[in-house]
Structures are given as C-alpha cells and as structure tokens.
Amino acid sequence: MTDMTVSGSAPEASQMPEKRVWRDIGIKRRYAAERRFKTYGLVAVLIGLACLAMLLFSVVSKGYTAFQQTSIRLDITFDKKIIDPQGQATSNNRVLLMANYPLLATRALAKTLGVDESDRKVRRELSGMISNGVRTQLRDMVLNDVAIIGKTRTIWVLAAADVDSAYKGQIDLSVDQSRRKVNDQQVEWMNKLAGEGILTGRFNTGIFLNGASSRPETAGMGVAMIGSMYMMAIVLVLALPIGVAASIYLEEFAPKNRWTDLIEVNINNLAAVPSIVFGLLGLAVFINFAGLPRSASLVGGLVLSLMTLPTIIIATRAALKAVPPSIRAAALGIGASKMQMVFHHVLPLAAPGILTGTIIGLAQALGETAPLLLIGMVAFVADFPATPMDPATALPVQIYMWANEAERAFVERTSGAIIILLMFLAAMNITAIILRRRFERRW
Amino acid sequence: MSDTMEMAEDTAAAAQAGAKPVMMRGRDVCVFYGEKQALFGVDLDVRANEVTALIGPSGCGKSTFLRCLNRMNDTIDGCRVKGKITLQGADIYDPKVDVVELRASVGMVFQKPNPFPKSIFENIAYGPRIHGLAKTKAEMEEIVATSLQKAGLFEEVKDRLDEPGTGLSGGQQQRLCIARAIAVSPEVILMDEPCSALDPIATARVEELIDELRENYTIVIVTHSMQQAARVSQRTAFFHLGNLVEEGPTDDIFTSPQDKRTQDYITGRFG
Amino acid sequence: MSEHIVTAFDQDLKQLAGKIAEMGGLAETIVNDSITALMRMDGELAQSVIQADRRLDALQFHIEDQSVLMIARRQPMAGDLRQIVAAMRTCNELERVGDLAKNIAKRVIAIGGELRSKKLAIGVEHMAELAMVQLKTVLDAYTQADAETAKLVRERDEEIDRLYTSLFRELLTYMMEDPRNITFCAHLLFCAKNIERIGDHATNIAENVHYMITGQQLTDERPRSDEIELADFDSDN
C-alpha cells in the first residue's frame, strides 16, 4: 500500500538533473507594460474626476448664493391714506389693485433708517433698495385680508437685485459710485441695516416657486419644474409601454428575417438622430399638422417620447436578451405558452434592466433643450400651467434663457438652476439604483 | 398501417414477450436544422414504465431526438421534423395537437438545473397553476407536497418552501426541477443530461430518484456517461452521426453489443 | 479491433493477455513435468514441479490484482469487460490445473520410486497426453481469440472422460489380479482422476474463451460419460 510517507522519500525537483527549459518570458518587460497600462488608466480616471470636480466647483461656487436672497425686515403700516385715499375700495375694486404699495415699503424703510423721505432724491434711493416685487407681495396681503388696512405688520421684503448683489459681495465697491448700480448712500444704509440685523440673507424659496420674471430677485424655476414634470410624466406614460411592447414583440415573437433586421437597424439609427431633428418633426407634425398649442408641455412630452423611444427599446431588448435561455426552456418545458413564458418569467427578470434603461432615457429627455426650442417652449411664462396644454417651459430651457439675461443677479441664478437640474438628475439616477436593488432582491 | 392496428399488434407482441407496452413511438424521424440534416430516419420505441437511455458521442442527434418528443425543437428557428412520433398512439405532430398540452404530458428536465428565480413553492406551483390543476389553495399545497415527496426533496425543504429555489444546492435544484416536472402529472419525463452538472453524490441521489420514478412514469434520459446509462436504464439506444445504430436491453448493450460502432463507443475506442 | 483512445488501457489489456499466456505456458510445463516425473518415477523433477506451482500461484494473484485494478480504474465495458472477466476466471482455472499437477508430483514422491510395472501406467500416460493437447489447444484459442476451436475443445473433453472410465476399470482389474499392486494402482487412480480434472479445467477455460469472444455463455449440457463419479473426494488437497 502506498501511503503518505511516500512523499517524504520522493526527491525534490531541485535535486533532479537540470532539465528545465530556458524560456524568454521577459518578466520585467511584462510587468512594466502592466504597470504602465495601470498608470494610464489611473490618469484617465483622475482627469475625468478633475473635470467633474471643476464643473461642480464652478457651478456650485457661482450658484450656491442663488439659494440665498437678501431681505429686509420692515414694520409696514398699511396706511389707508396711501392705499385708499378716496375711500372707494368697496365700490371700485381696481383701487386696491392699483394702489401705490411700494410707497408703504419706502416709508417703512425711511422710518427704520430714521431719514426724511420727503426728499425726492432720498426717496428714489430708498425705493431703489427695495425690490419692485414688494408691490405684489403687499397687494396680495391686502387682497387676502382687507382688514389689515390701517394696521402695522412686521414682514420681510426682498431687497432689490443690486443691493442683493452688493450684499453678497458681487459688486466691486471700490470703483466710483457713478460706475456702479448702487451708490454710496445705499451701501451705507445697507451696512447700517445689516449691522442691526434688519437686512440679512434668507433662504430663497422664490427660486423654486416663482415663474418667469424680468426682476432677478423674483424670478424662479417653478413653471419650468412643473413643465418638466408634465413632460417626464408624458414620456413615461407613452414611451415606456410602447417601447417595452415593441421590444418584446421584436425579441420574443417576431420571426428573424430581413424585415426585422431592417427594423432593428432603423431603431439603432433613430437613437443616433440629433435631437433637434425630433424638434423639427414635432413642429411639423404636432403643431402645424395636428394643431396642438405651441409651448405646451404636451407637445414637448410627445417630442421627447419619440426621442426616448429608441433608447428604451434598445435597453429593453438588451435586458430581454440577458435573461438566460434556461429559464425560457424551463417555462416552455412545463407547458407554458410563449405569452406566459414572457410575462411570467422573462419580463420580471428583465425588469431591472428595463427600468434602468427607462430612467436613463428619462434623464436624457429631462436635460434635452434643442427640440424644445423649436416647438416654442422658450417663452416667458409667469403663470403656472394648470394642464399640459398650457404654455410652460422646461428646466434646461430656463437655464438657457437665464444665461442670456444681462443682470448680474441672473448669473448666480443660472448656476443655481443648473444645480437644481443636476439634483433632479441625481435623484432620478438614485431612484433607478434603488428600484433596481429592490427588484433584484425579490428574486 | 393504421395506429390502432399497430397498437393492437404491439399489445399482442408485448403480452407475448412479457415486455412493457410502447408509450412513445418514433418512425422514420428526420430532423433538419435549416439545410443540415441532424437525424436520419430514426425508428425508436419508448416503453412504458421503463427508463430508456440515449447514448452517443456529442452531436450524434440524441438530444435532438429527445427534444422531438415534446416538440421543444419547435422553439428553434429553421428546425423541421419529418416522420411520425406518437404518444400512446396519437401523432404529436398533428396540427390539431396543442404543444402546450403535449408538454404537460411530456415533461422535461434540463442539463443545467434551472429553477425559476422564485420560491421553492412557486417553482412547483407554477405548472399546476397555468394548467388549472388546483382549484383551491389547499389543493395546490397538496400537489406541491406530493411532488416534492416524489422527488425525494420534501424532507430537506419542507421548512423553507418560501425561500428561493436558486438558493438550494445543485443536486437539490435538479431534484426541484424534477419535482416541477412531476407536478403537472406527465406520462413521460424527458431528461437531457440531468446529472452532468452535479457531483457524484448528488448524481447518485438523482439516479436513485429516476429508479423510483420509473414505477409511475416513463423516462427517456440522454446521458454522456455510459456508466450512468448502464446504471439507470432498462433499454439503451446508441446514436451515431444522426443514425440510430443499435437499440436493445441495457444488459445486452453494455456486455455484448451487436454493432461494432456500439462496441467501439462504449469501450472507449471511438476516433 | 481498433485501439482505445486511452492508450494506457490498451497496454494494460495487452499486459493482462501476456500474463495469461505466461501462466498458460507455465501450467503446461508443470503438467508435462509432473507426468514425466510419474512415468520415470523422478522424485527430483516432482520436487521442481512443486516449486514451479508456487510461481503459478504468484502469477494468479498478480493477474487478479491487475484485473480488479483495471475494473476500478477503467470501468471497462462490453468486450473489454468480458476480456478482463475471462482473464480472472482463466487464471483461476490455470491455478487449479497447477494444483492438480502438484498433487500428481506429490504422489510421485509418496510412491517413492517403486515402479511396479510400466505397463500399469501406460493408460495414464495416454490420458495425460490427451489432456495436455486439450490444454494447449484451449490456450492457443485464448491468445488467438478463436471461439470455434474453444468450442471444439469443450466437445472433446468427453474423450478424456471416457478414457478415465475405462482406465478406472483397468486399474481395478490390476488390483484384483495382484493385491501388491493395490497401493501403486490406487495412487495411479488418483493421478488419473487429477488428469481428468485438468481436462475439465481446460473445458472451463474453453467456455471462458467462448464468452470472452461472443458474449454468450455456453450453458447447454455438454455430453458427459464419466458416470462413475466415485472418488470425487480426492481431487483437492
């Protein structure tokens, strides 16, 4: 019997006669090449990360101030003499609408600062401190509650955009006052108010809630966000079912012949078509031919659906192809019909892939600008769209429009809007990851 | 010759020889994949309550023939089947025959264990559900339990029926697949190299199971292991280059085959 | 027959056949020597036969080991399996043949050289010649894989049996003629019985050869004529 003891008596290879073949394997060269390749890869990754960091840094450093808005706390007296000097408020409802509300704010500011507001120059400079948006703010308060007239309320009013910029240090105060938008007097008042804590930066809710406005301090992305949401909903409702149905048919049911090959090639080509072409198509078909309203998020949604469809089809087909054939065989083997096989087994297994593809497609659609320009979504829309048929804008379009504005305060808002858009995209991608995880855990 | 006459003859012949009646019969079965012919006029009988082993080198057509028996070849593009295959006398390639129904009577177990990525219970319940075999939840539970018992898996998994079937070991998965096939009460079970992915112990369990199942089902098994064919089958058919070379009782095939090609193949002389 | 894909298997089978041939040759020699020793009352030759039988036993162990190993390692099928099984059986038969020859040699030593009369042993010698031809033929049939010859050997065994019966009567007559012959004739009778057994073993080998080649067991009753199956107890020791 052979036993383990044999190993002890066996000679080691080193004691055996020299028989090894000399091989020119160039160990050093191989390892050097491998190290070099790793270095290239690392450098490429680092360059990518640096670019991303630069982009984020530039956007965030410019844009984070957009989420802060300089405001002034004022004790505003709703003086009946100013609002309704003739006492016609009950008979003529235009009186309350047309009243000189900014004057109330100017007075309150003068009182706070302890200056005489009867001087016209002083009054002009005072009113230049406060955003014109105060008119709507106070009017809405009065219209909500007429009883407020004659009483005093402590409220925060927005500072004018130039004061806002000055307060955030975006205006160079060392140059002569004739060459800048805030004069020395205003700066002095600003500093005084800031010292007393009356003028301060507050979180800017307006950028999320307001519609378009020519005054930067009251301009917001509200309409754009609603428009984008409508469009995403339309894309989801249209492109997902159509795309998934088309892919299932092509992948599982369609015979493999020249026609299906042709369709496949065309779908792949469609995915590569520049998005502006889809915009032209939308303009021609949906607006000129079908007569749908311009600037409506419905049309935007339809165009983006067309654009997203190839992406979803390609992703879904890949996901369906990735389902192991053994599962199909198993289902067919116990007598499931083809339809049962697809819907009971293949589709659930492909769902995470389909979902990821869809969300990537949606994210792409969310960031798309060009086709929307052509269907008139570059519009000044101040009112919230109630339905997808109403005029609206979209997030990227809003960024495009703000980037074209001249005022200093719009620069930070543009960056702020970009931050909001990026956060939307991040949120969608995270949703994709979470859904994927959850689906995969079910199996 | 009509089917009924053939059947009558079979029964008579079977009674004479003491052999089992024929469950499935293939006559002049030819299979084409596109232009390429994979099977050349195979005549083979599968007898009831017996294990019939199909052996032969790779690409000899044994799996192709197996897949003809429940028309799994239908799912392959460009695959054509000629000739006649009957199940209990009825032509299974008759246009009136529903493939779904056929596959419920002729179940299949595959080479790689392929449980659905669902719970053990769902794996087995799926077949009976789509075929409407259980009306109530209790009936379904009964079917699942008996199927698992028949597959010799019940004791091992009874406490974790809601755990995923993919979490079982390879051998258990394969027995789960067998239980899944049993659950729809087939007459015939086709097995395509069911043990090729299993270790010897798991293989032994599956072979033991096959032997037990023979009592109630007719089994056709394709295997690359001659030892396995010798161990589990009652009849063996040797395929070579798309032809059925020799068919007979396993005892004879493995001790004294008649055809030289069979002899060469099973003794390991094939070139 | 073409070669195995695993060449080591072919070598193993060849080696096995070689060992059987060697064993067969040795068995033939032993039988031949034992008969010569009997005829010449050569105690030395008888001693060498007893020695040679040990070598035969060793060969048998070796062949059995090899066969078991081959079954375990190669899992032989069909013809290969039959060849190995036949080798195992044949080496058993040959070992028995050796034992019988050894038994004859032992009797030569026991008789102790007092050959009563050459005449008495003539019948035994004739029978031994026949048995040796049978053994040689069947071993040739084994190496040449000749089923027909093997079948012939099997049928010819009847002749030995017949010879044994007549020899039995003859020796009985001698014993009755002269009681001094009894011891010697009794020894001769046992030797004759041993030779008859050797013939039987040759027949068994013939059956193995037939099975090895055709896969069919020869089960039909072959003609038997040794009705006087007495003294069966003596065949072993």
pLDDT tens track for A246-284: 999 998 888 888 998 999 899 989 888 898 999 999 999
CB A92 within 8 A of CB A217: no
Q: Which residues pair with A153 in a beta bridge?
A: A76
- Which of A174, A150, A213 lies closest to A407, judged by CA? A213
Q: Tell if the pTM clears 0.90, that is, is over it.
A: no
Of A68-72, B1-5, C134-138, give the lowest mean pLDDT range. B1-5
Name the residue with higher pLDDT: A82 or A426: A426
- Ranges of each domain in chain A: 66-204, 222-442
Q: How distant is the Cα of B127 from the closest Cα of chain A, in angstroms?
A: 6
CB neighbours of residue A29 within 10 Å: 10
Tell me what ipTM this predicted complex has: 0.84
How big, in percent rounded to 5, are the helix, strand and coil portions of chain C?
85, 0, 15
Provide the mean pLDDT of chain A. Answer: 85
Band the pLDDT of B17: cuts 50, 70, 90. Answer: low
What is the model's pLDDT at position A212? 81
Kindly report the CATH number assigned to the domain that includes residue C107.
Answer: 1.20.58.220
CB neighbours of residue B27 within 10 Å: 15
Contact B270 C5 (CB under 8 A): yes
Give the nearest chain B residue to C2 (CA atoms): B269
Q: How distant is the Cα of A317 from the closest Cα of chain B, in angstroms?
A: 19
What is the model's pLDDT at position C223? 54
Distance CA(A230)–CA(A296), nearest Å, equals: 10
Contact B264 C82 (CB under 8 A): no
Taking the CA atoms of residue B128, residue B130, residue B135 and residue B138 in that order, the dihedral angle to the nearest 10 degrees is: 50
- Strand order across the A68-77 sheet: A152-158, A68-77, A199-203
Closest partner CB to A330 (pick from B100, B110, B164): B110
| Selection from A204-213, B34-43, C116-125 with the highest mean pLDDT | B34-43
Query: Residue B85, class by beta-carbon neighbours within 10 Å (0-12 exposed, 13-18 middle, 19+ buried)?
Result: buried
* H or E stretch covering B247: strand B243-249
Band the pLDDT of C61: cuts 50, 70, 90. Answer: very high
pLDDT tens-digit series, residues A381-394? 888 888 888 888 89
Flag whether pLDDT at A402 surpasses 80.
yes
Mean pLDDT of A124-134: 84
Query: How is residue B20 annotated by DSSP?
Result: P
CB A374 within 8 A of CB A211: no
- B112 neighbourhood in chain A, CB within 8 Å: 326
CB A357 within 8 A of CB A322: no
Domain region containing C74 = 7-234
- Name the residue type at position A128: G
- B104 neighbourhood in chain A, CB within 8 Å: 334-335
Contact B181 A349 (CB under 8 A): no
Domain annotation covers residue C27? yes
How big, in percent rounded to 5, are the helix, strand and coil portions of chain B?
45, 25, 30
What is the model's pLDDT at position C115? 61
Q: What angle do CA A347, A352, A353 make, to 5 degrees?
A: 85
How big, in percent rounded to 5, are the helix, strand and coil portions of chain A?
65, 5, 25
pLDDT tens-digit series, residues A310-347? 999 999 999 999 888 889 989 998 888 889 999 999 99
Distance CA(B212)–CA(B183), nearest Å, equals: 16
For A346, residues 6+ apart whose C-beta sits below 8 A from its C-beta are A252, A320, A323, A327, A328
Q: Could you give the domains of chain B?
A: 22-266 (3.40.50.300)
Distance CA(A350)–CA(A341), nearest Å, equals: 12
Band the pLDDT of B135: cuts 50, 70, 90. Answer: confident
CB C104 within 8 A of CB C56: no
Which chains share 3+ C-beta pairs under 8 angstroms with C?
A: B
pLDDT tens-digit series, residues A51-79? 999 999 998 988 888 888 888 888 888 88
What is the model's pLDDT at position B134? 85
Q: How distant is the Cα of C11 from the closest Cα of chain B, in angstroms?
A: 14
Contact C4 B255 (CB under 8 A): no
Mean pLDDT of A417-440: 86
Mean pLDDT of A301-315: 92
DSSP string, A259-300: HHHHHHHHHHHHHHS-HHHHHHHHIIIIIIIT-PPTTBHHHH
- A260 neighbourhood in chain B, CB within 8 Å: none
Band the pLDDT of C235: cuts 50, 70, 90. Answer: very low
Q: Taking the domain A222-442, which CATH number applies? A: 1.10.3720.10
- B183 neighbourhood in chain A, CB within 8 Å: 334
Distance CA(A223)–CA(A206), nearest Å, equals: 12
Contact A333 B118 (CB under 8 A): no
Flag whether pLDDT at A242 surpasses 90.
yes
What is the model's pLDDT at position B158? 87
Q: How distant is the Cα of C79 from the closest Cα of chain B, in angstroms?
A: 7
Distance CA(A222)–CA(A224), nearest Å, equals: 5
- Strand order across the B218-222 sheet: B106-109, B188-192, B218-222, B51-55, B235-240, B243-249
Domain annotation covers residue C2? no
* H or E stretch covering A59: helix A27-63
Instruction: List the single best residue of B252, B255, B258 to mutate versus C (max C Cβ within 10 A).
Output: B255
Distance CA(B94)–CA(B77), nearest Å, equals: 19
Distance CA(C46)–CA(A84), nearest Å, equals: 153
Q: How distant is the Cα of C78 from the closest Cα of chain B, in angstroms?
A: 4
Distance CA(A282)–CA(A150), nearest Å, equals: 55
Mean pLDDT of A277-300: 89
Provide the mean pLDDT of chain C. Answer: 85
Distance CA(A401)–CA(A406), nearest Å, equals: 11
Which chains share 3+ C-beta pairs under 8 angstroms with A?
A: B
Distance CA(A348)–CA(A250), nearest Å, equals: 17
- A326 neighbourhood in chain B, CB within 8 Å: 110, 112, 114
- Which of C72, C80, C65 lies closest to C5, judged by CA? C80
Cα B237 to Cα A115, B55, B221, C83: the distances in Å are 112, 6, 10, 23
Mean pLDDT of C3-30: 89
Band the pLDDT of A14: cuts 50, 70, 90. Answer: low
What is the model's pLDDT at position C43? 85
Query: Residue A13, class by beta-carbon neighbours within 10 Å (0-12 exposed, 13-18 middle, 19+ buried)?
Result: exposed
Cα A383 to Cα A152, A211, A340, A378, B68: the distances in Å are 30, 6, 49, 14, 68
* H or E stretch covering A186: helix A184-196
Structure tokens at C156: 């010819």
What is the model's pLDDT at position C237? 38
Provide the mean pLDDT of chain B. Answer: 87
Of B61-75, C110-124, C134-148, give the lowest mean pLDDT range. C110-124
Domain annotation covers residue C1? no
Distance CA(B210)–CA(B198), nearest Å, equals: 15
Flag whether pLDDT at B88 surpasses 50.
yes
* Domains identified in chain C, total number: 1
Contact C78 B255 (CB under 8 A): yes
